[in-house]
Structure 1
Amino acid sequence: MLFLAILLLAAGIALFVLVRKEVVDFQGATAVAAVVAVLGAVLGVSTFTHVVAPYQVGVPVAFGKVGTPWKSGLHLKSPFTSVTSFSTRPVDLNLSGDDKVEVRSSQGGVLYADLTVKWSIDPDQTLSLYKLAGSEDAVERRLVGPDSREIVRNVFARFTSEEGYVAKREAISAEIDKEIRQRLAPRGIQIEAVNLRNVKPSDALQKEIDLKIQQEQATQRAVEAARTAKAEAERQRIAAEGEAAANNILNQSLTDKVLQSQCIEAFRAAADKNPVYASPCGSGGGSPVIVDGTKR
């Protein structure tokens, strides 16, 4: 840029001199010379300044030496200083679709995890990030992405397939969030949030899960049937014991005298409508009992 500015400025001055000496004579030559000279001057001035945009940090490098990071605003620099900008706004790293993370559970089952890591650069540690990665794109490509994938795989490996798929999704997401923060914070990368959006089992694992569910349902049905049969057997046992106890009490209470008395009462009730002169209510070979319904 500096050399182009010098070339334009020199060309403008040369053209203006040639016009003054009447070596060059065409309409508007003076205006062209002025425009070329001004353009060269503007480019020349711009090589000595640099504007850092809002929410960005600039890292100046001159002759292989890295300078102190610049905050947003206008800065003076030498023409030989290059500036690498880093945005401090949050960025979403989406690990989904073709970039989804393939993980294995503690049982060896294969699952596919979709997640989003929202991260940003710590402005106070931009210099260390520049030394580690070299640019903002490289920070995501070389640090945030690989570390996030590694941590996701390590966390899922501590849980079973069922836990990773359904039972402990929230616990796994919280653990991933915690470990990514701990890994990247010392490097100057701030983690705003980690969202484990979806976990999908592989086809082979899905078949195993479906088979296990069917087996569990069959076991539950068998247990319920056994519980019902046991309850019915207990009910029948209790009913039989109650009936036996009632019969025992009845057998003990029905003596000969009680039976004879009940027999007489029965025939007396019958005598109210028809005279009865004898009833077979005697016992022990005694005389039959006479019941006269007319005489009371």
Structure 2
Amino acid sequence: MFVLSVVLLIAAVAVFLVGRGRAEAGWRIGAAVGALGGVLAGLFACLHVVRAYEVGVPVTFGRVGTPLTSGMHLKSPFTDVTSFSTRPVDLDLGGEDRVEVRSSQGGVLYADVTIKWAVVPRRAVELYRLAGSEDAVQERLVLPDSREIIRNVFARHTSEEGYASARERISAEIETQVKERLAPRGIDVTTVNLRNVRPSKQLQGQIDKKIQQEQATERAVEAARTAKAEAERKRIEAEGTARANKILERSLSDKVLYNQCLDAYREAAKAHPVYAVPCGSGSGGTPVIVDGTKN
């Protein structure tokens, strides 16, 4: 715009000089229009509008000036303004950009992470010196630092903690460290979302094998527990039977056995009314005639 202003002013002066000695008014009008256009172009070259939710960094002959907030600003025509958006930006590390990490056991996992960050307006000059542009802030600062921190955090945890038991704790650790790393550079990290952690095929095979081994161990332990309980039940049953036999042995006498023998054969005599049976102690027990027809 400044170059256009200079060109228009030079053209206006040339037209004025050419038409000065002539009677036609068109030359003077052309010179006036050119001069007016040059002045307006120069004025616009000295104005710069910073849009809402942006901050501008002015640079004049290599010297960085004070950040420009949203609105209209006067500047030198030799000043270039680099704008940075202050809106939150999502850095999506997923799909082909997912982060490959290793656990403390050496297992490979793939982490999908979303990092929401924004430029701190008052630190725009520092970001310009570090990166040079808005796109470079993410490519040179946010992305490499976030990947490094994600890998370092996962390396302090086991594979099982990484994909299952400690995901929330790992996400909190990543968020804390990313904020601490980027805050001094003028980048405000609002949230870190660890969306998904997926083990590699090799690690998944190891996990499945471990689960099968654990299930087999649980079945073996349960079988051993059942066998032990059954053995204990049989032992208790045998001890009960032995105690009952001892009690029965102490309570039985020859007379008791003799009476029980008579009762047993009396019941049998109901089918065969009269027969002789030996009842008594010793090998030659006293013969007894049992008549089922009589009481």
Fold in common (TM above 0.5): yes
Go from structure 1 to structure 2 and tell me whether the alpha carbon gap of 1:240 and 1:143 turns closer, same or farther (over 3 Å shift): same
CA root-mean-square deviation: 3.1
Inter-partner Cα distance in structure 2 for 1:271 and 1:211: 73
Residue 5 in 1 paired to residue 15 in 2?
no
CA contact (8 A) 1:18 1:24 kept: no
- Mind listing any 5+ residue stretches in structure 2 that lack a counterpart? none
1:73 to 61, 66, 71: 71
CA contact (8 A) 2:278 2:286 kept: no
Inter-partner Cα distance in structure 2 for 1:229 and 1:219: 15
1:7 partner letter: V
1:243 partner letter: T
1:204 partner letter: Q
Structure 2 equivalent of residue 168 of structure 1? 166
Inter-partner Cα distance in structure 1 for 2:32 and 2:200: 71
- Give TM-score scaled by structure 2 length: 0.84
Inter-partner Cα distance in structure 2 for 1:96 and 1:84: 30
- Mind listing any 5+ residue stretches in structure 1 that lack a counterpart? none
Structure 2 equivalent of residue 242 of structure 1? 240
1:198 to 196, 199, 204: 196
Greater per-residue strand proportion: 2
Q: What is the correspondence of 1:113-128 to structure 2 with a 5 Å cutoff?
A: 113-128=111-126
CA contact (8 A) 1:180 1:191 kept: yes
Structure 1 equivalent of residue 250 of structure 2? 252
Inter-partner Cα distance in structure 2 for 1:271 and 1:110: 88
Once the 2 structures are TM-superposed, how far is the Cα of residue 72 of structure 1 from its aligned partner? 0.5
Inter-partner Cα distance in structure 2 for 1:246 and 1:295: 36
Go from structure 1 to structure 2 and tell me whether the alpha carbon gap of 1:183 and 1:226 turns closer, same or farther (over 3 Å shift): same
Structure 2 equivalent of residue 105 of structure 1? 103
Once the 2 structures are TM-superposed, how far is the Cα of residue 196 of structure 1 from its aligned partner? 1.3
Once the 2 structures are TM-superposed, how far is the Cα of residue 73 of structure 1 from its aligned partner? 0.7
CA contact (8 A) 2:111 2:196 kept: yes
Go from structure 1 to structure 2 and tell me whether the alpha carbon gap of 1:247 and 1:204 turns closer, same or farther (over 3 Å shift): same
Inter-partner Cα distance in structure 1 for 2:272 and 2:114: 102
Q: Secondary structure at the match of 1:190?
A: strand
- Give TM-score scaled by structure 1 length: 0.84
How many aligned positions are there? Answer: 294
CA contact (8 A) 2:278 2:285 kept: no
